């Protein structure tokens, strides 16, 4: 395995750990608090893959399968990053639909451009 791939996988794992830490320390929404999943940073998109879209634990085709999003399903995009290319598209979206999962931007039509994950 090349050093570049190893570093990319480490970075993805670190980002995932940071997201889990954020989720664990964020208080539940209550009176006067905004649910972070309803944040204005969330962008909606539609799954355009005819056979559905496999959502993964990392922005690579090798990531563990979390679930399958069906054609036409509206998903909520938290942010985007670059990962393994899918049909020439390197961008992946981190989705927040009950679980945190990655879907290739090649198969999701975002209604507006999501922010970068590291921003």
pLDDT tens for the chain, 119 residues: list them: 565 565 556 556 555 554 554 554 444 444 444 455 455 689 999 999 999 999 999 999 999 999 999 999 999 999 999 999 999 999 999 999 888 999 999 999 999 999 999 85
Can you name the residues that pair with 80 across neighbouring β-strands? 93, 116
Nearest residue to 43 via CA among 118, 108, 119: 108
Domain spanning 39-119: CATH 2.30.30.40: yes
Enumerate the domain spans of the chain: 39-119
State pTM to two decimals. Answer: 0.67
| Cα separation values, 39 from 34, 42, 90, 91, Å | 7, 6, 25, 22
CA angle 10, 17, 43 (to 5 degrees): 105
């Amino acid at each position: 395995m090349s050093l570049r791939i190893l570093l990319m996988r480490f970075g993805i794992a670190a980002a995932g750990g940071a997201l889990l830490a954020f989720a664990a320390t964020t208080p539940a929404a209550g009176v006067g608090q905004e649910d972070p999943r309803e944040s204005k940073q969330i962008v909606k998109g539609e799954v355009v893959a005819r056979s559905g879209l496999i959502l993964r634990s990392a922005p690579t085709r090798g990531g563990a399968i979390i679930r399958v999003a069906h054609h036409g399903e509206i998903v909520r995009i938290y942010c985007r990053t670059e990962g393994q290319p899918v049909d020439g598209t390197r961008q992946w979206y981190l989705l927040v639909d009950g679980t945190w999962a990655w879907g290739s931007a090649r198969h999701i039509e975002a209604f507006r451009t999501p922010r970068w994950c590291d921003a």
